[in-house]
Chains A and B, each alone.
Chain A
Amino acid sequence: MLLVLVRRLGNVIPTLLAVIALVFLLFSVLPGSFISGMNEDGRSVIDPAVMERMRKEMGLDDPLYERFAKYVGKLATGDLGTSFRTREPVTKLIAVRVWPSLKLVFAAMAFAILVGVTLGFLAALKPGSLIDTVSMVTAISGLSLSQFWFGLMLMYLFALTLNWLPSFGYGDGGLRNLILPAIALGVGPMALLARTTRAAVLDVLNADFVRTARSKGMSERLVVKWHVLRNALVLVVTIVGLQFGSLMGQAVVVEKLFAWPGVGSLMVDSVFQRDMPAVQGCILMIVLFFLLINTLVDLAYVVIDPRIRYG
């Protein structure tokens, strides 16, 4: 188990380096910069001399390889650079955003797993029944909804009309503020999980070893409990992992919509300000989260499926 973990982490580092290089290069070939952006709206006119001094200060005129070397060197010591906008270390900016982001992502995933897997299971055990139809219609609607529109509808219904929950904001960080954004973010993965769980369970129910189990004289309930659940879980875990990992990146829209102080909304704000160090930091966070979740999924496989041995 430990060996698996070490090996997986060994894969994480090269991936992370590749992402760092890619993001850095991407931003260096993009036209415009923080400084030119300040002039763009045409209202604030900055003295060219001041601009020149700022460019020097931020190191924007140095050659690309030099800036990259400096950036990576700093990263290695855990320094993500200084935000152009607030002049604060990016690590500090992100640090206050990470906890709300994680809270949102975990809550959304909990909702998706709880509702999605349950619906998928019930649908598969009684294919063609009312519950099958209802849950698959729910799933397809969930997949096709835009987060943005669905979020607005949730706000309209539960906040404005029913007045049950706050419409936006982080509040005191309690559950009440979390519910609506979590559902808005979790509805997509929920729908996907419902569909894949249904397919996975139906697949396993048709497997030869399930026929063997039936030939042993087992009740359908025990067949499911002893032989179907675990086998279906292998497939479900894959989807959970993929969805979970990309959820922090997907959260951008929902965080913006619900004014949720997460990494996603920080990233959007920073993009508009061309605050490169902050954007790079946010992307790194999102990628790191993705890689970590994937590593956890690989570990989960080893626990669930005895056929899988890494190394």
Chain B
Amino acid sequence: MTAPLLKVDDLHITLEGDGASYNAVENVSFEIGRGDAFGLVGESGCGKSITALAVMGLLRRPLGIGKGRIVLDGEEIQNASAARLRELRGSKIGMIFQEPMTALNPLSPVGRQIAEMFVLHQSASWSEAMDRAEDALRQVRVPSPERRIRDFPHQLSGGMRQRVMIAIALACRPDLLIADEPTTALDVTVQAEIIDLMAELCAAKGTAILMISHDLGLVANMCRRVAVMYAGRIVESQGAEAIFATPRHPYTKGLVDSLPRLGERSKRGRQRLREISGVVPSIAAYPSGCRFNPRCPSVTDICRSAAPDVTALGDGLVRCHHHE
């Protein structure tokens, strides 16, 4: 087996605040192979976005990496210098953010914002970079790119802006694309276009994807492997098909059950969509034992007293006392 492109090993992210230090993310480990697609799923506040920012080296105080290793292409980067991280960002790792409305500079033409990548990482001249920005826009299928490169973000629709973001993230053919909720802010009809475009471009360039979303269905469609995070920990990780067929952690089961399914109503009649009761606990008030225990339907005494360890199961893992 070849070495993975990205290996996150026992990552801890700490949050300093009110004179105390909390672990916002704990014991997170996963691997992404070259050209592979990996999904990270969970509710808001479970730590998936900051995990991605940690990989980018973009954590800002009060957040910081407490412990663990991040290995990109054989190089440990959790303690890399700011200058080295800047070199990696953009050229080896690209990132797409959730809000295409605010993620682009409103006062700068989109072509220039793409061209910056070539100027920064490939020491291109501005005029050369602008030509290549036009090509990049064509690749993400923005119509009439020769005109659009002079447009400002407010002149483009949300979907178009996200295409620009993809063009920026993939401009320098990075090895890894991190997509943090890339379609959450978009219309449903546009979502599928953007996802397909991302998958297609990454496949063509051999770029691996780390896809972050709260939408299990979306992630399972796009990724080969999926990890589910809850309250700062990975609670289950499996192949994408298996996670739908045989979810092992009660939280994953809850997520799968809460997805609306086509044809369900005709089969079983009118039914209320199932939900997971309760909310994610705040970081300062994580319950003892298993962090999911206050919301878990199959909770027992041991769940309240002891935190479950990771158990390897088949090609996946699960963190639950009652995984059968």
List residues of A whose CB falls within 8 A of some B CB: 207-209, 211-219, 222, 226-227, 230-231, 234, 304-307
Interchain CB contact under 8 A, A215 and B89: yes
Establish whether residues A217 and B90, one from each chain, have CB atoms under 8 Å apart when the complex forms: yes
A212-B168, A216-B116 are contacts. A231–B97 as well, Cβ < 8 Å? no
Q: Given the complex, which residues of B lie within 8 Å of A227, measured CB to CB?
A: 105, 108
Name the one of B56, B87, B99, B102 contacting A215, with C-beta atoms under 8 angstroms: B56
Contacts of B304 in A (CB 8 A): none
* Complex contacts, B86 vs chain A, CB 8 Å: 217-219
Residue of B nearest to A227 (CB): B105
* Residue interface mask B112-138, A partner, CB < 8 A = 1: 000011001100000000000000000
What class of interface size applies to chain B in its complex with A? 20 to 34
Can you report 11 residue pairs joining A to B where beta carbons are below 8 Å apart?
A212-B104, A212-B165, A213-B105, A214-B89, A215-B56, A216-B116, A216-B117, A217-B87, A217-B90, A217-B91, A231-B105
Q: Are B105 and A209 in contact (CB under 8 A)?
A: yes
Which residues from chain A contact B90 at a C-beta distance below 8 Å? 215-218
- Which residues of chain B are near A306, meaning CB under 8 Å? 106-107, 152, 154
Query: Is B195's beta carbon under 8 Å from chain A?
Result: no
A208-B103, A227-B105, A306-B106 given; 16 more Cβ-contact pairs under 8 Å? A207-B102, A208-B97, A208-B99, A212-B104, A215-B89, A215-B95, A216-B89, A216-B117, A217-B87, A217-B88, A217-B120, A218-B116, A230-B107, A304-B107, A305-B106, A305-B107
A211 touches B154 (CB 8 A): no
Known contacts A212-B168, A307-B152; is-contact A226 B89 (Cβ 8 Å):
no
**In the complex with contacts A216-B116, A216-B117, A307-B89 CB distance below 8 A:** no
Contacts known (A217-B87, A217-B88, A307-B106); A212 close to B154, Cβ less than 8 A:
no
In the assembled complex, the Cα of A216 lies from the Cα of B107 at a distance in Å of: 17
Asked if residues A209 and B104 are in contact (CB atoms below 8 Å), the reply is: yes
Contact check, A209 vs B120: say whether CB atoms are below 8 A apart: no
